[in-house]
Structure 1
Amino acid sequence: MSVLLLSLLTLAQPQHWDFTSSPEDRFADESTGGGLLFDGSADPIYIEDKSSLPENAMTVSAWVSIDEPNRWGGIIGCIQDNGDLELGWILGYNESQFTMALSTSGADDGNGKLTYLDSGDVIYQLGQWYHVSATYDGKTLQLYVDGKRVNQTESQSGSILYNKEMPFTIGGYEDDNELNKFDGRLKSVTLDARASSEKAISAQFEEGSTLKSFDPWVNTELDWLVMPYINWPMTTEMSISFETTLPTDAELQACHETGRCAQTIQSSGKRLHHFRLTGLEPNEKYFYIVKATDFRGNTIESPRLSFRTAPETEDSFTFIAIGDTQAQAEVVKRVSDVAYSHRPNLVVHAGDLVTTGSNKSHWTGHFFPAMQPLISRVPFMPVLGNHEQDAQHYYDYMVLPEPERYYSFTFGNAEFFMIDGNRSLAEQSEQLNWLEQSLAKSKAKWKFAVLHQPPYTSDSNDYGDTYHTTSTRGDMNARNIVSVLEKYGVDICFSGHVHDYERTFPIAGDKVIPWEDGGVMYVTTAGGGGHLEHFDPTNTWFGHKKANCHHLVYIAIHGDILEFQAIDEFGNLFDIITLNKGGLSR
């Protein structure tokens, strides 16, 4: 496919990008000319010369057809929407509407403030051509679809705010921590440093309105984008999720292994579907099938899958601890397959599920495929790592107890305290207060903490170069939880981040203390796939068992007994311990 970008004109004249294609790439009658087809995997077009970006007024227009909805979809723009920093503008779309965002000096709160308009009742149909425009005259922002104004606001005024690092793109939504690639077609894009009248917008629509006569056409086949996976297990409930390449009407059918207690749940008009099964029986096996049908009537159906509900207090169970699956998908697949070979009841993940949390393809093309079939039959419960970037994709995909960034859940006679090591754990912080209150209320026999950053580690250089100088030998924010874990008798703290395996001696009061006397063991299980790291060349005061390999931790609990095994990516056992609470007060 060839792309012709017409040369940039002076600021006083509109910029116009028109697209042509070779005959085999055409998707409309030849009399309409060509267009540009994006498949959702290609990078945006980057406009290097930003000197002609509008400053005080603007009109932006495009003929566009959407193949795949996106919460933060971009047609053309120069934007920064990262935390409190909100600058620039973008003409775009969400899951169902067209959008326009703008940040100006008149609404500046110190870091800029974006206003997002949407097209309201005007809902786009996949594969249909639309003329989308927005104007700003220094006081009023207006959004048009097919020549008609659909929304406006006066919440912005003055000059448009930019910074020099912001990319100027066509066919994508990109800022410092997001890259959402366009999936659909563009016929033409126009940018003018003047605000056009409603009459001019209408005339521009009429000029290209032949495109409206074509039947909807989507260059996407219905398929699984994310195969079914399971979160948040309870004794009587379970969440099952999946994502399709197109919006679908979906159905979940589930029943007990004996065929009783059949349930059917439906969901419509979405790509990402979440189903919550309720009224289940504890520690029982259930079968499930999901089906999805697109707007053309095409249907896909999953295999017959299964899961087991969470055990009750007196039941035995097993679980896997894993971390840092963010790289080397083939390694992740080996580790997850070894994990599944043990048929655990549960998986806990110590964070860094993906390399870049804001990049959707890292979820759909790496993490989820590599973790199958494990996560379609075994519920997994993660914590945020630094590589998740606190991105919306994490919260979209995961179904977890509130507030999701941190949470706790019970499983059999154990309770897991899932901590966000990226946020403050300082004294009197919201999260540390929550952790102490939750531990104080816990009646579980076995208590586990999970966070990404290790409170203690013998790593060579994450917390200081141990080959040449000193090290804190652990994350100092994470270190704030240590006294709380000791106070309430937490047995093991699992972490990731440092790509190796380490099990410390039990620790309390910054000393090695027997586990039976209240010591907490710290286990770094960051061997899920990330490139391996190295240890301090000299042992630390707390260092016990270490291994430089991709791995998982397998734990079996039956009453007072905990059996702990560390297993490498090829199924080889390399560490084993047993803990027995019989007769102990902890």
Structure 2
Amino acid sequence: MLTIVKGPYLQWPTEDSMTIMWETSEQASSRADVLMAERIHSGYQGNYKKPEHVVSTVSNKGYCTIHQLTVKNLEPSTIYFYNIYSACEKGEIESGPHPLKTAVRKGEPFSFTVTSETGGYSGFDQSNGRINRNIFHQMQRYRPDLTLFVGDLVNDGQNYDDWEKYFFRPGKDFIINTPFYSCLGNHERNASWYYDFFAYDPPKNYYSFDYGDVHFICLDSTDFIKPEHYPNSAGEISSGNAQYDFLVQDLEATSAAWKIVFFHYPPYISGGYQVEELRKLSPVLEQYGVDVVFNSHTIVYERSHPIRGGQIDENDGIVYIVAGGAGAMPDWFLPKREWHTSQSLAVPHFVQVVVTSNLLELRAIDEEGRLFDALKIRKGTNGRKEFL
């Protein structure tokens, strides 16, 4: 029989479109319907009636196992519902209706969550995946508009089964209604499955996107720091490197109120696996006004003081956050903090971020839903920051 192996799950939200993906057990056709539902005081899901009015449909009669359809002509910042269908000689499947929300307009507040290490922690995890499931469950409670995963989704990216075991299965109920972005970690091993399962802009290992008042940039630190040279770069982090040049040109082109960059290896961490070579990116990030950098790799939580020019700068600094969330390795911390560390704790966690045009609020929350760190960044009309 034809079955759904992964998903459905959401990718690459824009103000007028959403990409929907799923995997089937056999080669099959693809179709996705987006439906509008009437809002009422109580009803089917989140005070909506069961949706019946189809507003957009996209299909692919060609057979495949990994299905990717982009539904267009939607309205910004709007909740819809979607159904997916596949069929072949071995049967038919459908799933839905599931909610989705298009990207918000500029000037509209939104929220997102950040975590990582759903697979990277697996070799140390004695909980049988409980931590992964808890982190996904806690993030769902906050109903984010999107989520960032900062690498190491799997234990071995070249092992097909790992993608289901460590990410798609424990995260199923979350990614079915929350679009997500990810960067490559060392555990992905630059495997082809990363490129097959995710619908990011080419070359996929680095890309950028806008959402509301934020410009996000994903980088591939495993390309800057190749495995055979780790933790050194062998000279790749400079002009002339395709990814480095992309970063410069992309930052030059954006006028977004907030700029957030995420990549796996941490340039600042009071613990093991710090990759100081990546501080070569900091002058570019500082020059173009990046506000926050999210990293992982060291399986702990750590937030830096605002840093600029290798020093603490409470007016124009960048906050570096290590969100190695789906696990905790307290023994990986140094005996004492480094100068750049503001707050740190080795507990399973995620980071929740709320963004408005002039305020960015970050909250670190553990797997039981407890708040253990918070920061607000207020930005004036002159671009100067105030850290609260």
TM interval, short-chain normalised: 0.7 to 0.9
Residue correspondence of structure 1 range 329-368 to structure 2 within 5 A:
329-368=129-168
Letter of the 1:311 partner, please give it.
V
Contact 2:300 2:347 in 1 (8 A): yes
1:74 paired residue number: none
Letter of the 2:285 partner, please give it.
L
* Aligned-partner Cα distance in 2 for 1:264–1:511: 52
Select which of 211, 218, 222 maps to 1:418: 218
2:34 paired residue number: 254
Write out per-residue CA displacement over residues 396-442 of structure 1, whole angstroms, 9 at most, x where no aligned residue.
00000122110100000000010000112511122111111111111
2:256 paired residue number: 444
Residue correspondence of structure 1 range 531-546 to structure 2 within 5 A:
533-546=331-344
Contact 2:34 2:54 in 1 (8 A): no
Select which of 371, 378, 396 maps to 2:178: 378
Contact 1:493 1:520 in 2 (8 A): yes
2:265 paired residue number: 453
CA apart distance, 1:306: 1.2
564 and 485 in structure 1: CA distance in 2 versus 1, 3 angstrom threshold: same
CA apart distance, 1:484: 0.8
Letter of the 2:365 partner, please give it.
I
* Aligned-partner Cα distance in 1 for 2:330–2:94: 38
Letter of the 1:438 partner, please give it.
D
Contact 1:252 1:266 in 2 (8 A): no
* Aligned-partner Cα distance in 1 for 2:149–2:133: 15
* Aligned-partner Cα distance in 2 for 1:225–1:518: 47
* Aligned-partner Cα distance in 2 for 1:383–1:408: 11
Aligned length: 351
* Aligned-partner Cα distance in 1 for 2:360–2:180: 20
| RMSD over aligned Cα atoms | 1.5
Select which of 224, 232, 238 maps to 1:427: 238
1:506 paired residue number: 306
Moved more, 437-446 or 422-431: 422-431
Write out per-residue CA displacement over residues 106-150 of structure 1, whole angstroms, 9 at most, x where no aligned residue.
xxxxxxxxxxxxxxxxxxxxxxxxxxxxxxxxxxxxxxxxxxxxx
Contact 2:28 2:88 in 1 (8 A): yes
- Is 1:393 aligned to residue 193 of structure 2? yes
- Is 1:231 aligned to residue 11 of structure 2? yes
Aligned to 1:347, what secondary structure does the other structure show?
strand
Instruction: Give the TM-score normalised by the residue count of structure 2.
Output: 0.87
Residue correspondence of structure 1 range 58-97 to structure 2 within 5 A:
none
* Aligned-partner Cα distance in 1 for 2:133–2:380: 38
- Is 1:245 aligned to residue 25 of structure 2? yes
* Aligned-partner Cα distance in 1 for 2:176–2:150: 19
Instruction: Give the TM-score normalised by the residue count of structure 1.
Output: 0.58
* Aligned-partner Cα distance in 1 for 2:347–2:19: 32
Letter of the 1:413 partner, please give it.
D
1:577 paired residue number: 375
CA apart distance, 1:264: 4.0
- Structure number with greater CO (CA < 8 Å, separation at least 6) is 2
Give the greater-gyration-radius structure (CA).
1
1:273 paired residue number: 67
* Aligned-partner Cα distance in 2 for 1:498–1:383: 15
554 and 375 in structure 1: CA distance in 2 versus 1, 3 angstrom threshold: same
Identity of aligned residues (%): 30
Contact 1:267 1:273 in 2 (8 A): no
Aligned to 1:555, what secondary structure does the other structure show?
strand
Aligned to 1:423, what secondary structure does the other structure show?
helix
CA apart distance, 1:544: 1.0
CA apart distance, 1:577: 1.3
Aligned to 1:276, what secondary structure does the other structure show?
strand
Contact 1:491 1:520 in 2 (8 A): yes
Unaligned runs of 5+ in 2: 39-52, 225-235
CA apart distance, 1:477: 3.5
CA apart distance, 1:266: 3.3
Contact 2:58 2:70 in 1 (8 A): no
Letter of the 1:416 partner, please give it.
F
